[in-house]
Structure 1
Amino acid sequence: MIDTVFIGMSGLTSYSKGLKAISNNVTNLNTPGFKTSQLQFTDLFYQGSQNGTGAGRFGNGVGTNGTSLNFLPGDFRSTGNELDVAINGQGFFVLRDEQDNLRYTKAGQFEFNSNGVLVNRNGGERVMAYEAGNLREITLQGMQSNPPKASTEIVLKGNLSPEGTQHTINNVAVFDSAGKQHNLTLAFSDKKQDAVTGETNWTVTVKEGAATLTSGNYKFKNSLAVGGSDSLNFSFTPVGAPASNVTVKLGPNVQAFNLGTTSSLEVESKDGYGLGTLTKQSFDDEGRLVLSYSNLQSDKRYQLATARFSNLDSLEQIGNNQFQTKDTNAVSYAVASKGQDAIRSRAVEISNVDLSQEFSDLILNQRGYQASSQIVSTANEMIQELFEMKGRR
């Protein structure tokens, strides 16, 4: 009967551990990236005959073999934070702590610290990007502004009616090599008809304010631009910066149909931009960090590293929504793609806790604990009865 008490106590101990695992799962219901664990029960060693004769074969209770992790994905929850990301797949984000240890997480809650380095919001670990087979940190150093680019081409579109006598395109913004903006006016005037060639000749003047930068001629025949007479050039020479040349050309969408005295000629496209300052950081669906600037340009040089494991059992929880691996050979690094481990921006993966399953397991553990306590109580009563029998002799 003493053995029975120890067997009952093994149940009490094991079911207490089971309750601890369940309580940890339930309390982490809203923890981003949390993965549930389940306690593994095992029967203890046996003693006695194996063939059922004689004293028979009896077990010695129940024990535990630790917990196993459930890596089923959790749901995605929108946060609206530009630097919150979730992985739609088996991959993990890669972090590096102050001791250069690699950590892995499903909780993509990131921010830039005071040094401009992308870090884990909860622990401050550096978030890793993957490039040319190497892990590297993500930093804004040298990227707070976007350098200017000089304009080189202005392409026009629309109709320049031969019935009109003049047409003006105002406020054409271009940039020199120093990033300074120049607002230009393109004036079409002094139209002439060549009766011999059938060409219509327009004089074009490019001005900045009252200053004339250049002038030239555009020619049309049969309502289309004449090759070799469909562009003109001018240049800027800013102080302390190299000169930049700009071409104004008639694009393929320019015609000269007789549609009255009004023309619709306008700018179709132009390149160049001024100095831009950083306005926003976000991630796209392939994990690229998108830096947006005030000059409408963007930079996508960093792409988040993802880690995949050939054996998920090599992962163990270390707290703070993070994991470490016991087998470095089981991990491989890559980047996300739209097909595999696609990134969900402005969202996080919440825990995969199933409350209905946890409450069911809770009832089973409670009943197991009650049954084990009843075994101890019954064995205690039998021992007490034996002592009383001994005392009556």
Structure 2
Amino acid sequence: MSFNIGLSGLSASQKALDVTGNNIANVSTTGFKASRTEFADQYAASLAATAGKTTNGTGVTTAAVSQEFTQGTISSTGQALDMAINGSGFFVLSANGTKEYTRNGTFNTDKDGYIVTASGANVQGYNAVNGTVQTGSLTNLKIDASNLSPKATSSIDETINLNSSAADPTVSVFDATNVNSYNYTFNTDTYDSQGNAHQLNQYFVKNSTNNTWTMYTTVDGRNPADPTSTTPLANSVSFNSDGTLNTAAMTAGAVTGGLTVNADKTFSLTNWTPAVKSSSGTWAANGANASTTGVNIDLLNATQYNASSATSAKTQDGYATGELSGLSVDSTGVLFANFTNGQSKTIGQVAMANFANVQGLAPAGGTDWKETYASGVPVIGTPSTGTMGSLTSESLEDSNVDLTSELVNLIKEQSNYQANAKTISTQSTIMQTLIQMT
């Protein structure tokens, strides 16, 4: 029997050496999870189990090779589609119609724009339509590399201060080319329906009447409604004694100087004709349109204080055509396409899966796992929800193998192997002794 016990020990030690060797070999494998050999002793007993206190063990058996799903170190890579899971969960893959699960977030795109692994498996998630993620059934994530359509400017918000102590201009007749005919000016880039940029200029002239100014408006130096004319639109802007905008003096619906006063006391430029200068020097419509709702100019935050005239904040919602310039992923797995015009668009969201018993997953190679009866069915979700961990973009999860511990285990398992071999050698010596006595 000692031979069998020794052989079982050799087999178990060999299995442990194989597992440790595999861990060491994958110390640099992204998303790899170390394995651990678990053993159980064996006993032989009679049917009625009467041997009880006098039964000796019959050796050892390999009970399981379990996986250690502890968190690996997250390392930055700088690659846009590299993703690391910080916490529980797995990426969901579709490989030849079969679902697989991995912690290896080394992803790239194929020739058709689909996000895939190095082996060609498709990464699963939810694609977006018009910037809205379509949750529901899992699908192959795809990068939409088409240009971002331009958007005509429909709203401009301005926060400015006009110097209350400024002197009246020395030139009484406004002339955009003469800085002595106005007190303050600034410009804002606006866009038409084809993404062409146009410069909206606003000039402010202090009037002799207290707390009143005249605002002159041009687009590309021309009259917004008539590009053949250089005559600007002229509107009166007044302030209260405390320096805030006097909205009470503005009548909703009134059209003064070409700008309509809205109900919220903002101005609306409704008759802008986008134009272009020809080679002959004349100006004419360029074939594009302004926003169908007009251009809303919000001056509600304008003030008249005894401080330098200045623009402290300014926004507008239009933009030119954008070409794809990069990708980014947030902690919830939402994919954003970044464009050359400074805009970004949601193009999808990465899905994740988790299991009631991750130890029941079956290794499928390539740091992938497959669902089994023991693992239970996958719970599908998105990063940072429920039991799912968060995503760290431009990073990868390193192997969780502790090389120091594995090398120590290697020494221990080598000693165990030698000890079990010694058991067999000793039994052989005893057998030889018995034979020689006969």
TM-score (normalised: structure 2): 0.79
Are residues 109 and 383 of structure 1, via their aligned partners in 2, closer, same or farther at CA, if it must alter by over 3 Å? same
| Offset, 1:323 | 0.9
Alpha-carbon separation, structure 2, partners of 1:15 and 1:6:
14
Larger strand proportion of the pair:
1
In 2: Cα distance, 1:279 partner to 1:170 partner = 30
Matching residue's letter, 1:218: S
Contact 1:220 1:256 in 2 (8 A): no
**What secondary structure sits across from 2:236 in the alignment?**
strand
- 1:67 paired residue among 65, 68, 80: 65
Deviation at 1:100, TM superposition (A): 1.1
* Shift of residue 276, structure 1, vs aligned partner: 0.5
Identify the match of residue 392 of structure 2 among 323, 338, 344: 344
Task: List runs of 5+ in structure 1 lacking aligned partners.
Answer: none
Offset at residue 37 of structure 1 (A)? 1.1
- In structure 2, the residue matched to 1:221 is 239
Residue pair 2:43, 2:55 contacting (<8 A) in 1 also? no
Q: Which of 423, 427, 431 is matched with 1:375 structurally?
A: 423
Q: CA deviation at 1:365?
A: 1.7
Please state how far the C-alpha of 1:132 moved relative to its aligned partner: 2.4
Given that 2:273 and 2:290 are in contact with CA atoms closer than 8 Å, whether structure 1 keeps it comes out as yes
Q: Deviations for 1:107-129, whole angstroms, at most 9, x for unmatched residues?
A: 11111122111111x21211111
Q: Which of the residues 134, 137, 151 maps onto 1:134?
A: 137
Q: Within 1, Cα distance between the matches of 2:16 and 2:413?
A: 7
**3-state SS of the aligned residue for 1:224?**
coil
Distance 1:167 1:10, change over 3 A: same
Q: Note closer, same or farther for the CA distance 1:146–1:280 as it changes in structure 2 (3 Å cut).
A: same
Segment drifting more, 340-349 vs 290-299:
340-349
Distance 1:337-1:53 versus aligned 2 partners, 3 A rule: closer
**Residue 157 (structure 1) aligned to one of 159, 170, 174:** 159
What one-letter code is carried by the residue in structure 2 that aligns with 1:367?
S
* In 2: Cα distance, 1:83 partner to 1:324 partner: 23
Amino acid at match of 2:123: V
Residues of 1 paired with 2:424 and 2:221: CA distance?
Answer: 99
CA–CA distance in structure 2, aligned partners of residues 205 and 266 of structure 1: 19
Alignment length (residue pairs)? 377
Alignment gaps of 5+ in structure 2: 127-133, 170-181, 226-231, 251-260, 275-284
From 19, 22, 26, the equivalent of 2:20 is: 22
Corresponding position: 1:235 with 2:272: yes
- Tell me the TM-score normalized by structure 1: 0.87
- Which residue does the alignment assign to 1:279? 325
Task: Name the residue aligned to 1:185.
Answer: 201
- The one-letter code sitting in structure 2 at the alignment partner of 1:247 is N
In the other structure, the counterpart of 1:10 is: 8
Residue 348 of structure 2: SS of its match in structure 1? coil
1:292 to 332, 338, 354: 338
Determine the C-alpha separation between the residues in 2 that align with 1:133 and 1:109. 25
Q: Which amino acid aligns with 2:101?
A: Y
Q: Give the CA deviation at 1:321.
A: 1.2
Report the residue type matching 2:64 in the other structure: G
- Deviation for aligned residue 1:304: 1.0
* Partner secondary structure for residue 13 of structure 1: helix
CA shift at 1:89, angstroms? 1.1
- How far apart, in 2, do the equivalents of 1:38 and 1:153 lie? 63
User: Mapping of 1:113-128 within 5 angstroms?
Assistant: 113-120=110-117, 122-128=118-124
Aligned partner of residue 328 in structure 2, secondary structure: strand
- Preserved contact between residue 85 and residue 103 of structure 2 (Cα < 8 Å): yes
How far the C-alpha of 1:179 sits from its partner, in A, is: 1.0
- Closer/same/farther in 2, CA of residues 40 and 249 from structure 1, 3 Å limit: closer
The whole-number CA distance in structure 2 between the counterparts of 1:236 and 1:168 is 25
Q: How far off is 1:53 after superposition? A: 8.8
Aligned identity (percent) is 31
Q: For residue 318 of structure 1, what is the aligned residue in structure 2?
A: 364
- Structure 1 SS opposite 2:156: strand
Quick check: 330-339 or 22-31, which moved more? 330-339
Residue 75 of structure 2: aligned partner: 77
Equivalent pair of 2:223/2:233 in contact (CA under 8 Å)? no
Q: CA deviation at 1:4?
A: 2.0
Q: Root-mean-square deviation (CA), in Å?
A: 2.6
Deviations 1:258-285 (A, max 9, x none): 55xx632576221200100111112111
